[in-house]
Structure 1
Amino acid sequence: MPQNLLIIGATGLIGKYITKEIIEAKGSVERIVILTSKDTTHNKASEINDLKQSGIEVLVGDITKEEDVKNAYHDIDTVISCVGRNVIAQQIPLIQWASETSVTRFFPSEYGTDIEYSLESASEKPHQQKLKVRRYMSTVTNLECTYLVTGPYSDLYFAEPPFGRFEAGGFNVKEKKCSLLGDGKGRISFTAMADVGRLLVAALQHPAASRNRVLIVNSFTTSPDDILAEFEKQTGTKWEVQYTGLEKLKEIEERAWRNQDPLATALTLRRIWAEGGTLYEKRDNELIGDPPMETMTDQVRQAIERS
């Protein structure tokens, strides 16, 4: 494990899961710091206080300001970025400033769909900012990096459709109905959000295996049909089912981008998953100690409990 670690985006969607697992493993870390905004200290005061109570050092600053960021980097050896999709490109100056300080390793916010899965990946609209970050990172010679590629988060996929739009696929536990993408049989590799944190900690604990590497990791692989069957088993009832075939999904996706629909990004990512864009001959979990992962059964149970 690194001795002095900084987390950026610690209270965000995936950042809170990563931070939780790092805190649980902190016995081997000398210092854990988070850099957060002034607004976050007010809007998420309870979360920030809990982090402080856990022994985390909280620094307040603006990630777009060099002085604030370099102050946070002081005496830090490893940076974990958990920034959201809307500010992915801001990681380029974050990496540049890290290369000018004591930082020796950087984990970019890569969690999610593989942006270099195939030749077609380079043209996918949601991948463009992450691709820019990777290109810049390749020019920095004095920083080690690790990309943790997890595939889609099962917690979000096993939930109601994004923006309530059933054509995008999803599972409504209360109404016992779902929308499946493709023919329902296409297999998708998922990662539970808690497992993203566990996998990142495992990568920290295995520095040689994760150094300057894209780690392809996940919790389990299954199909929409199998997910539905598990929901029906655990709820004890048959569900109402509709399908959005791949061609229909592509039509909806193209129209969404033309109309600047906020659903566009989600539709593209879900089309990629339905096309098999998360499947590999093998995953890299074993390279970093093969930490225990959640199962589809676990994730369906949790989705029912949340409903």
Structure 2
Amino acid sequence: MSIPANVALAGATGNLGPAILEQLLKAGFHVTILARQGNTREFPDSVEVRTVDYDSVDSLTTALQGQDAIVSTLGLGALAKQFYLIEAAVKANVKRFIPSEFGPDTTNSKTAALAVSAGKVAVQKALVTEAAGGRISYTYIFTGPLLDWCLAAGLILNADEKSIALYDGGDSPFSTTTLASVGKAVVSVLKNPDETKNRGVYVQDAAPTLTQLKAIAEKITGTVWKGTEVSVENDVLAPALAELEKENPDPSKSILPLAVASIWGKGYGCHFQDLDNEILGLKELTEAEIEALMAATLK
């Protein structure tokens, strides 16, 4: 497969989409945004915007005409729309589909079994079926949690309370990647289509432990942080699974806990062992760079 020139982006206004758009444009791709009706977000002049109905295969097929690849960053609540995107991409003869993964390894059997992973796993199966028939190719990009976004959102460290949850002791490394590096990974996948065809690629900026991040936070702030030991199985996963057994489960009591399990639970595979950083030309952050990134959030 030749390097694609025209790339469609679905989900350009979410948390991750803008970072991927920025890197695609820097790399010289012609980018077409698939925007819902009524979207008022402004994009650079070089970007083409096509209004679509994500529930209409015909609408999506029309919008994908002339595209070589599509990158999806649709959020958890919209993952099912990707089935229409896949069908439309096949009809429009799009060559490469990068689905909305960009997190823990959902091909890991334990992570795949979590309810929060169901949508992504279903999309994987659909892509595998289409690829087996030679109708499209795909690449899953696994990045672990998005480090800078998670820090800013208080999902790893609680800056206000100067506290951190140390899951299962906090000494297990976990792969994590910044928003900008995810965008660079997308670009590198598209520039290496044969090496990344029909498989998952694994990238990371770093693989710290929670205790290491606690120490860095203490260095930056000059204060002692509270570390609370939390059992993933007993304190996080068990209550979430119990919630899901209810007739009308509260998603707020299951989605985040299941995500925590997929990142810090033992056996869930979020410390990537076989990285594709070298193939994709991605360098890991130095400890000084991690400290600078955290300082921008914590100070």
TM-score w.r.t. structure 1 length?
0.86
Shift, 1:33, TM fit = 0.9
Q: Give how far 1:112 is off.
A: 0.9
- State the distance in 1 between where 2:243 and 2:39 align: 32
Q: 1:252 aligns with which of 230, 239, 244?
A: 239
**Could you tell me whether the CA contact under 8 Å between 1:79 and 1:105 is conserved in 2?**
yes
C-alpha spacing 1:297/1:173, structure 2 compared with 1 (3 Å): farther
In 1, are the aligned partners of 2:152 and 2:297 still within 8 Å (CA)? Answer: no
Q: Distance in 2 between matches of 1:107 and 1:89?
A: 15
Give the partner amino acid of 2:166.
L
Deviation at 1:154, TM superposition (A): 1.4
Aligned-residue offset at 1:282:
2.1
> Which residue, out of 1, 9, 20, partners 1:18?
20
Residue of structure 1 equivalent to 2:9: 7
CA distance in 2, matches of 1:87, 1:104: 22
Cα distance in 1 for residues equivalent to 2:253 and 2:38: 27
Any conservation in 2 of the 1:154–1:299 contact (CA below 8 Å)? Answer: no
What amino acid maps onto 2:171 in structure 1? K
Q: Distance in 2 between matches of 1:105 and 1:80?
A: 9
Q: Structure 1 residue 2: deviation in Å?
A: 1.2
Q: Deviations over 1:55-105 (max 9, x none)?
A: 111112222122321221111111111111111121112111111113111
* Residues 1:287 and 2:274 are matched in the alignment: no
Task: Quote how far apart the aligned CAs of 1:133 are.
Answer: 0.8
Q: Secondary structure at the match of 1:110?
A: coil
Partner amino acid, structure 1, of 2:39: T
Return 5+ residue gaps in structure 1 as ranges: 163-169
Establish whether residue 202 from structure 1 lines up as the match of residue 193 from structure 2.
no
Contact 1:189 1:278 in 2 (8 A): yes
Residue identity (%):
25
Give the SS at the match of 1:126.
helix
Would you say the 8 A contact 2:98–2:138 is kept in 1? yes
Q: In the aligned structure 2, how far is the partner of 1:96 from the partner of 1:176?
A: 48
- Which residue does 1:225 correspond to in 2? 211
Distance 1:296 1:82, change over 3 A: farther
How many angstroms does 1:114 deviate by?
Answer: 1.1
SS in 1 for 2:180: helix
Contact 2:58 2:88 in 1 (8 A): no
Q: Does 1:270 align with 2:263?
A: no
Residues 280 and 61 of structure 1: CA distance in aligned 2, closer, same or farther (over 3 Å): closer
Q: 1:147 aligns with which of 118, 126, 140?
A: 140
The correspondence of residues 50-61 of structure 1 with structure 2, limited to 5 A, is: 51-53=43-45, 55-61=46-52
TM-superposed CA distance for 1:280, in Å, is 3.3
Moved more, 269-278 or 252-261: 252-261
In structure 2, the CA distance between the partners of 1:297 and 1:89, relative to structure 1 (3 Å rule), is farther
Give, in angstroms, the shift of residue 24 of structure 1.
1.0
- Residue 272 of structure 1, CA deviation: 2.4
> 2:121 aligned with 1:131, yes or no?
yes
Matched-pair contact (CA < 8 Å) for 1:152–1:190:
yes
Q: Which of structure 1's runs of 4+ aligned residues deviate more than 4 A? A: 159-162
What is the aligned length? 287
Task: Give the C-alpha shift of residue 300 in structure 1.
Answer: 4.8
Does the CA-based 8 Å contact 1:158-1:299 persist in structure 2?
no
Amino acid at match of 2:225: W
- The alignment yields a C-alpha RMSD, in angstroms, of 2.0
Aligned to 1:39: 38
Which residue of structure 2 lines up, in the alignment, with residue 167 of structure 1?
Answer: none
Q: Structure 1 CA distance, aligned partners of 2:264 and 2:44? A: 41
From 132, 145, 162, the equivalent of 1:176 is 162
Cα distance in 1, alignment partners of residues 180 and 145 from structure 2: 13
**Is residue 110 from structure 1 mapped to residue 101 from structure 2 by the alignment?**
yes
The answer for the alignment partner of 2:74 in structure 1 is: 83
* Unpaired segments ≥5 residues, structure 2: none
Distance 1:71 1:3 in 2: 18
- Counterpart AA for 2:272: Y
**Partner of 1:58: helix, strand, or coil?**
strand
Distance in 2 of aligned mates of 1:39 and 1:294 = 39
Instruction: Give the whole-Å Cα distance in 2 for the aligned partners of 1:171 and 1:196.
Output: 21
